[in-house]
């Protein structure tokens, strides 16, 4: 299948003849391309900082939980206590009963996401039961002051490690916020950046279109494509840009999930474009027209606006230009 790119859809929507002439052009780097590359590099750095933040937060959690467990075992080593052993045994038995209930519940559930939730809990709850059993056994042993003190010191070292990773996490979060403010991006996690080397090309086998959005933001459970325009700032979103963004929304729908909207960004100005059936129909109509033009080779200017020709980068070679 011959795929039509979202960038070509934008050019065709601006002017079919301008798009046709662009097919014969050699790719050259201009100011817009350079500016886009700068934005992509900054966004990639932001994405990396956000990923670091998540990794550091996991380290903080593991070290903090580990320090707590080590400290509790250390306390248990310092003295024995039969009542505490009974208490921890009771907790362990309770968690085992809960685990058996979760196992039964996961088996009878039909709804997949609920089933997965109970299966995740099945992993966590037996671990809690095991930890409670270890404490119960430890409290029955004879006191071992040296081991108890060593474990308390080890617990302090783990807490120091947790504090260090917390510092790194906060530093990464501040750097990410700084980059997001510099690019004037809306809230959301950057999960995709237009990058010819690393970013996968999104494709729709159903409609035969492809492309790479400038950015893909994850907002709650939604994936929002972002198209950034670096040229002049218009009074409102241009039709050709809306068509390009709609193409990205179709691609996100097929590769991730249906987005509620997409974002067009002109400098500091941000427009939300809702993903609607009418826009999708217009887009698919444009794609059909482009396929026919590629077969017949017959393409003409579709407007009578002098200003459009004045702002067109191909007006010098256009046989139907108005200015």
Query: How many residues are recorded in the chain?
Result: 323
Give the pTM: 0.71
d(CA 312, CA 242): 18
**pLDDT at residue 115 tops 70:** no
Give yes or no: residues 170 and 70 share one domain.
Answer: yes
Strand partners, 266: 229, 269
Give yes or no: residues 219 and 172 share one domain.
Answer: no
Residue 298 lies in a domain: yes
Structure tokens at 193: 């950046």
Give yes or no: residues 141 and 161 share one domain.
Answer: yes
Would you list the DSSP string of 46-112?
Answer: HHHHHHHHHHHHHHHHHHHHHHHHHHHHHHHHH---HHHHHHHHHHHHHHHHHHHHHHHHHHH--SH
Residue 230 lies in a domain: yes
Residue 147 lies in a domain: yes
Confidence of residue 118 (pLDDT cuts 50, 70, 90): low
Give yes or no: residues 170 and 240 share one domain.
Answer: no
Phi, psi of 126 (to 5 degrees): -60, -35
d(CA 208, CA 197): 22
Give yes or no: residues 21 and 137 share one domain.
Answer: no
Domain hosting 69: range is: 53-182
What integer best gives the mean pLDDT of the chain? 83
Confidence of residue 62 (pLDDT cuts 50, 70, 90): confident
Residue 20 lies in a domain: yes
- The least confident of 85-89, 118-122, 195-199, 254-258 is 118-122
**pLDDT at residue 127 tops 70:** no
Count of domains for the chain: 2
- The least confident of 46-60, 84-98, 208-222 is 84-98
Phi, psi of 10 (to 5 degrees): -65, -45
Give yes or no: residues 195 and 271 share one domain.
Answer: yes
Residue 280 lies in a domain: yes
d(CA 175, CA 139): 46
Give yes or no: residues 100 and 68 share one domain.
Answer: yes
Residue 162 lies in a domain: yes
Give yes or no: residues 97 and 128 share one domain.
Answer: yes
Give yes or no: residues 177 and 282 share one domain.
Answer: no
Phi, psi of 34 (to 5 degrees): -65, -40
CATH value at residue 302: 3.90.320.10
Give yes or no: residues 154 and 66 share one domain.
Answer: yes
**pLDDT at residue 228 tops 60:** yes
From the list 244, 208, 207, the residue with the least C-alpha distance to 225 is 244
Predicted pLDDT at 26: 65
Residue 323 lies in a domain: no
Residue 1 makes CB contacts below 8 A (sequence gap 6+) with: 205, 208
- The least confident of 135-149, 157-171, 205-219, 307-321 is 135-149
């Amino acid at each position: 299948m011959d795929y039509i790119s979202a960038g070509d859809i934008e050019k065709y929507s601006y002017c079919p003849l301008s798009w046709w002439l662009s097919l014969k052009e050699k790719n050259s780097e201009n100011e817009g391309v350079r500016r886009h590359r700068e934005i992509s590099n900054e966004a990639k750095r932001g994405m990396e900082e956000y990923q670091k933040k998540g990794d550091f937060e996991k380290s903080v959690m593991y070290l903090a939980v580990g320090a707590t467990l080590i400290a509790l075992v250390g306390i248990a080593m310092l003295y024995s206590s039969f009542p505490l052993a009974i208490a921890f045994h009771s907790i362990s038995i309770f968690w085992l009963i809960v685990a058996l209930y979760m196992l039964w519940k996961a088996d009878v559930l039909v709804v997949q996401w609920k089933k997965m939730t109970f299966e995740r809990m099945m992993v966590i709850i037996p671990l809690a039961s095991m930890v409670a059993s270890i404490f119960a056994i430890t409290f029955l042993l004879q006191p071992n002051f040296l081991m108890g003190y060593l474990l308390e010191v080890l617990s302090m070292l783990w807490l120091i490690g947790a504090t260090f990773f917390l510092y790194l996490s906060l530093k990464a979060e501040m750097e990410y916020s700084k980059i997001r403010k510099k690019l004037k991006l809306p809230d959301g996690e950057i999960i995709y950046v237009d990058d010819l080397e690393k970013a996968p090309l999104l494709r729709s086998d159903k409609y035969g279109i492809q492309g790479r959005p400038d950015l893909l933001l994850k907002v709650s459970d939604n994936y929002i494509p972002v198209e950034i325009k670096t040229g002049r700032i218009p009074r409102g979103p241009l039709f050709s840009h809306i068509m390009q963004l709609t193409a990205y929304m179709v691609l996100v729908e097929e590769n991730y999930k249906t987005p509620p909207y997409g974002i067009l960004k002109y400098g500091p100005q941000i427009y939300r474009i809702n993903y609607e059936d009418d826009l999708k129909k217009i887009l698919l109509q444009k794609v059909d027209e482009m396929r026919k033009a590629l077969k017949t080779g017959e393409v003409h200017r579709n407007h009578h606006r002098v200003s459009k020709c004045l702002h067109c980068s191909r007006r010098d070679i256009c046989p139907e230009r108005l200015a």
